[in-house]
Amino acid sequence: MPKIRELQKKAISGKGVSYGEAKWLLGRNDDETLEVIAAANEIRKHFKGKKVKLCSIVNAKSGRCPEDCGYCAQSSYHKAKIDIYPLMSADEMHEKAKKAKEEGAAYSSIVTSGKGINSQKEMDEICLALKKIGSIDINRCASLGILNKDQLKKLKAAGLKKFHHNLETSKSYFGKICTTHKYEDRIATIKAAKEAGLSVCSGGIFGLGESPEQRVELAFMIKELDPDSIPINFFNPIKGTRLEKNRLLEPLEALRIIAMFRFVMPEKDIVICGGREVTLRSLQPLMFSAGANMTMLGNYLTTAGNKPEDDLKMINDLGLKVSR
């Protein structure tokens, strides 16, 4: 379609498409999706070449979260059957990061449940872990909830390079997903991380019941915040959570979301994370053709991922190269 090619050229110029153009792209039907994907692939190749970055997470503290996010198995409002444990020791986090490096990850992120860091003891242990992980040739990241600039500066001083904090969904839909904190709290945390001198990773989850227009709304809020990388997650219903009956997105629908983000933010790292296995199914390799240049290795917080060796084989089979 001529318009898709015109928008491809616009994105390659570095401008990114407009709000209305993003809505139009997202609204293409299944028969047109491969054309959208092909155009997104050209944008990815222009800015990212053949390189694929890999990240991994350490679920360093699990369960008993006081927030009521409807999708989350770790919320104390839910009855999902998950492992529950307090913060790991710095040595345990170091060992997990070491394993991630051995599996091929270039980034290792310490992730904790809860609204934020609960005590000075937790802060000290996380800072110690970051210092220990500094002995490994891997980028040090963290996802630790809602924090202020002073806390983020302490983490940076301990060696943190990138802070992850998702918006999760659009502002207009957020109240349907979470009521125990405000959307503005998330935005403030992202801004504080940037002010502290950290690289920022911020994205969302798709398939929570949001409308297509709200997906575009989220994309442009993220664009305004200007993070370095954008994680895209697809909702994977977990028994015992409030949203357990939500349907999975269709694979082509999910691929259009990835492509739309590449058109909107052509120069950014787009990371495909949780839910890709169950949502994309046999079309999983097409996430790179749709515009992604980064993905997560191994398991997620409470759900299983692909085996790292299978993901590495998929990347190699596509003629792409893992960036180390």
Which residues on adjacent β-strands are paired with residue 168? 204
Measured between alpha carbons, how far is 226 from 320 in angstroms, rounded to an integer?
Answer: 27
pTM of the model: 0.97
What are residue 211's phi and psi, to 5 degrees?
-85, 160
pLDDT score at 3: 95
Residue count of the chain: 324
Which CATH superfamily hosts domain 2-323? Aldolase class I (3.20.20.70)
What are the pLDDT digits (tens) for 131-154?
A: 999 999 999 999 999 999 999 999
Find out whether 208 and 70 touch, Cβ atoms under 8 Å.
yes
- Region 14-22 average pLDDT: 95
Which among 300, 301, 273, 268 is positioned nearest to 287, based on CA atoms?
273
What are the pLDDT digits (tens) for 56-95?
A: 999 999 999 999 999 999 999 999 999 999 999 999 999 9
Q: What is the largest CA-CA distance in the chain?
A: 59
- What is the band of 179 on the pLDDT scale with cuts at 50, 70, 90? very high
C-alpha neighbours within 13 Å on the C-beta side of residue 195: 11
57 sits in which H/E element: strand 51-61
pLDDT score at 2: 76
What residue spans define the domains of the chain?
2-323
What are the pLDDT digits (tens) for 93-114?
A: 999 999 999 999 999 999 999 9
pLDDT score at 1: 63
pLDDT score at 166: 97
C-alpha neighbours within 13 Å on the C-beta side of residue 293: 24
